[in-house]
Amino acid sequence: MGSKIESKKLMEAAGVPVLGEFTADTATADDLPLLVKASAGGGGRGMRIVRELDQLAGEIEKAQAEAASAFGDGTVFVEPYVQSGRHVEVQVIGTADGAIVFGERDCSVQRRHQKVIEEAPAPALPDATRKSLHEAAKAAAEAIDYRGAGTVEFLYDVALDRFYFLEMNTRLQVEHPVTEAVYGVDLVALQIAVAEGRSLDEDSPLVEVRGRPRPSLETKAPTGHAIEVRLYAEDPAAGYQPQSGRITRFEVPGVVSEFATTGYGIRLDSGVGSSDEIGTFYDAMIAKVIVWAPTRDQALRQLAGALARAEIHGLRTNRDLLVNLLRDPVVVDARMDTTWLDGADLSVLGAAPGGEQTVPLSGFAAAIALAERARLSARVQSRIPAGYRNVVAQPQETVFLLGDEELPVRWYGGRTFSSADLDDVAVVSAGPDQVVLEADGVRRTFVVRVAGDPGQEAVDVESPLGHVALKRKPRFVDPATQVAAGSLLAPMPGSVVMVHADVGDTVAEGQPILVMEAMKMQHTIAAPYAGTLTELAATIGQQVEAGAVLAVVTPDNAADTDPGTDPGTTENEED
């Protein structure tokens, strides 16, 4: 079952519905769109959508190269691409007496063919279709005399109410906790019991149910609803570019257990915690966050609320995207499909939930907290109010960096704080770690976490409006950190896998110069404008650090380009 091609043949013989197959010679324009897939692939790698017939042969070659690099097997196949399908998978436990079905999961919210949200049971699924899916999965597992935990994955065409076999994962999957939560079982323990040849009947001590009568595995039924999200170190607005670095703080409220079935409350499955490093050699997933509730609506609300209150500092994550997805009408009404997120406006879906108010109010709170911190740490005259001036001529100004953009915050101090730029904003209370602001009649608490040396602190602000990560701009810039205009910088640590140009070449704007690989992603680094490649510091196989100068492009007319740092452009695609 590790080969998608061979497994489809086995499933077709067992009567499980499958999609047809094509080659570059047999496909016609009427068969479009098509999907090229790696036979040994997974996680969305080695997959390419083809919408023009003359591109099919080239996409097959590219997919073969990707598959050979990622999986050591360049075998690919071509099948019809269902554009509005849902990804529904069935959990099975194969035993010597046959396969036991533990319901289905919906994993339709995906980005780049990788799952983002998973839930059980699958919502908005006709009962007859649900039953047929279970029967097909049971037939699939028994056709190969499967033993242990496994997942049979299907593509469900909503418009036609038909489903097709995709593949079988002969293992536990990332999303198995949602099945454990609604069935009250420990799938890991059941898998071990199968391996040891023990019985899985109703008297088995391995079946754990939350305060409910213990059911027979053959007559079990799901209770409530469970949802899981994958929390990634990535920047959705930058093409889901993976992030690396240290997580300075990682706290999720309401966690009642880790790696265990639970009732109300949050289950957290994570391999990292506060002060841990996210490296570049593995997937960018930080944690799985799982919730169970009696209804789907309650589960969506509970998980969104927990994520919104979580503190994840030190690097960018998809946390805000997850919160917005869980509250989006498409997800709430169960109208999602596998391509929905690809066409979504990430500038809206990936933004902090507070909207335009988030950054100005958070920046003001951060400036006040830093002023109070400086006052309390003063060795002399610490009782003088922060920012006090006998004759007020100009406001105080604290300048932060929000990513690469400057965020100047002007404020007045003294016995009370006030903003020089924000109307109808009152400071209710102020301290070095917490500031309460009232804006437009709404009172909010801003928790301010500060780390780093004075004058260049990293400041994380948490509030009901969302999380804002700021860095205080130093008053003086170290000349050693400056780079020449036209410098192409490494967006993150990784290795150089391709170089497309040589020193002295004339390059066009947007022309690929080199390709980096890190965290299962490839990053194409392109020329920021037309010019000449005057420096090339990168070589194939070289390991580089984030921010390293890889190449320099001198523009055709240097006068047209402002001096300063220009990191060029990058495009990301799955490795």
Q: Is 472 helix (H, G, I), strand (E, B) or coil?
A: strand
pLDDT per residue over 175-188, tens digit each? 999 999 999 888 99
Cβ-proximal residues to 131 (8 Å cutoff; 6+ apart), any chain: none
> 449 and 459 in contact (C-beta within 8 Å)?
yes
Measured CA to CA in angstroms, residue 149 lies from 4, 47, 190, 234, 244 at distances of: 19, 26, 8, 31, 33
Q: Are residues 197 and 295 in the same domain?
A: yes
Last residue of a domain, one of 349, 378, 396: 349
DSSP assignment of 387-421 = T--SS--S-EEEEEEETTEEEEEEEE-SSS-EESS
557 domain residue, yes or no: yes
pLDDT per residue over 44-62, tens digit each? 676 788 888 888 888 888 8
Whether 41 shows a pLDDT value over 50: the answer reads yes
Q: Are residues 27 and 118 in the same domain?
A: no
Neighbours of 363 (CB within 10 A): 25
Last residue of a domain, one of 52, 80, 108: 80
Whether 484 shows a pLDDT value over 80: the answer reads no
What phi and psi values does residue 84 have, to the nearest 5 degrees?
Answer: -120, 40
CA distance 481 to 489: 12
The pair of three-digit structure tokens given for residue 115, joined into one six-digit string: 């799952």
Neighbours of 565 (CB within 10 A): 15
> 549 and 537 in contact (C-beta within 8 Å)?
yes
Count Cα atoms within 13 angstroms, Cβ side, for 535: 14
Neighbours of 323 (CB within 10 A): 25
Count Cα atoms within 13 angstroms, Cβ side, for 33: 11
CA distance 202 to 420: 69
The arithmetic mean of pLDDT across residues 128-132, rounded, is: 96
15 domain residue, yes or no: no
Last residue of a domain, one of 31, 53, 80: 80
CA distance 488 to 35: 34
The arithmetic mean of pLDDT across residues 305-324, rounded, is: 94
251 falls in which pLDDT band (50, 70, 90)? Answer: very high
The pair of three-digit structure tokens given for residue 10, joined into one six-digit string: 């086995």
CA distance 115 to 111: 7
269 falls in which pLDDT band (50, 70, 90)? Answer: very high
Q: Is 141 exposed, middle or buried (0-12, 13-18, 19+ CB in 10 A)?
A: buried
Q: Are residues 453 and 520 in the same domain?
A: no
Q: Are residues 376 and 343 in the same domain?
A: no
CA distance 213 to 102: 17
Cβ-proximal residues to 14 (8 Å cutoff; 6+ apart), any chain: 139, 140, 143
2 domain residue, yes or no: no
Residue 478, pLDDT score: 62
Between 20-29, 245-254, 259-268, 435-444, the lowest mean confidence (pLDDT) is in 20-29
10 domain residue, yes or no: no
Range of the domain at 62: 20-80
Q: Is 205 helix (H, G, I), strand (E, B) or coil?
A: coil
pLDDT per residue over 380-404, tens digit each? 877 788 877 776 778 999 999 998 8
Residue 575, pLDDT score: 46
36 falls in which pLDDT band (50, 70, 90)? Answer: confident
Q: Are residues 390 and 416 in the same domain?
A: yes
The arithmetic mean of pLDDT across residues 396-415, rounded, is: 92
- Specify which residues 458 forms β-bridges with: 451, 471
> 575 and 70 in contact (C-beta within 8 Å)?
yes
Q: Which pTM was predicted?
A: 0.79
Count Cα atoms within 13 angstroms, Cβ side, for 184: 22
Cβ-proximal residues to 480 (8 Å cutoff; 6+ apart), any chain: none
The arithmetic mean of pLDDT across residues 363-385, rounded, is: 88
Q: Are residues 130 and 114 in the same domain?
A: yes
CA-based radius of gyration for the chain: 27
206 falls in which pLDDT band (50, 70, 90)? Answer: very low
Q: Are residues 359 and 343 in the same domain?
A: no
Please count the structural domains in the chain: 4
The arithmetic mean of pLDDT across residues 317-346, rounded, is: 93
Mean pLDDT over all residues of the chain?
Answer: 86
- The two beta strands, 34-38 and 76-80, are antiparallel
The pair of three-digit structure tokens given for residue 325, joined into one six-digit string: 């997805």
Whether 494 shows a pLDDT value over 60: the answer reads yes
Q: Are residues 231 and 310 in the same domain?
A: yes
What phi and psi values does residue 448 have, to the nearest 5 degrees?
Answer: -115, 120
CATH number at residue 359: 3.30.700
> 226 and 175 in contact (C-beta within 8 Å)?
no
169 falls in which pLDDT band (50, 70, 90)? Answer: very high
The arithmetic mean of pLDDT across residues 476-493, rounded, is: 73
Whether 107 shows a pLDDT value over 80: the answer reads yes
Count Cα atoms within 13 angstroms, Cβ side, for 258: 9
The C-alpha angle with vertex 136 and arms to 130 and 140, in degrees rounded to 5, equals 145
13 domain residue, yes or no: no
Cβ-proximal residues to 479 (8 Å cutoff; 6+ apart), any chain: none
Whether 365 shows a pLDDT value over 90: the answer reads yes
Residue 490, pLDDT score: 86
pLDDT per residue over 434-483, tens digit each? 999 999 999 999 999 999 888 889 999 999 999 999 999 987 766 655 66
**Residue appearing with tokens 């002399």:** 380
Whether 565 shows a pLDDT value over 70: the answer reads no
Task: Give the helix/strand (H/E) hosting 496.
Answer: strand 494-499
11 domain residue, yes or no: no
Whether 109 shows a pLDDT value over 70: the answer reads yes
Whether 137 shows a pLDDT value over 50: the answer reads yes
The arithmetic mean of pLDDT across residues 116-122, rounded, is: 97
6 domain residue, yes or no: no
Q: Are residues 503 and 415 in the same domain?
A: no
- Rounded (10°) CA dihedral 300, 301, 302, 307: 90
234 domain residue, yes or no: yes
The pair of three-digit structure tokens given for residue 565, joined into one six-digit string: 């740092």
Of the candidates 412, 423, 275, 430, the one whose C-alpha atom is nearest the C-alpha of residue 366 is: 430
CATH number at residue 272: 3.30.470.20
Roughly what angle, to the nearest 10 degrees, separates helices 319-327 and 296-309? 150
Q: Are residues 292 and 178 in the same domain?
A: yes
Between 88-92, 189-193, 516-520, 536-540, the lowest mean confidence (pLDDT) is in 516-520
Percent of the chain residues topping a pLDDT of 90: 50
Count Cα atoms within 13 angstroms, Cβ side, for 225: 18
- Specify which residues 477 forms β-bridges with: none
Residue 205, pLDDT score: 42
- The two beta strands, 285-293 and 466-472, are unpaired
What phi and psi values does residue 430 have, to the nearest 5 degrees?
Answer: -140, 140
CA distance 133 to 104: 8
Q: Are residues 36 and 157 in the same domain?
A: no
Q: Are residues 344 and 259 in the same domain?
A: yes
Residue 75, pLDDT score: 82
CATH number at residue 51: 3.30.1490.20
Whether 213 shows a pLDDT value over 80: the answer reads no
154 falls in which pLDDT band (50, 70, 90)? Answer: very high
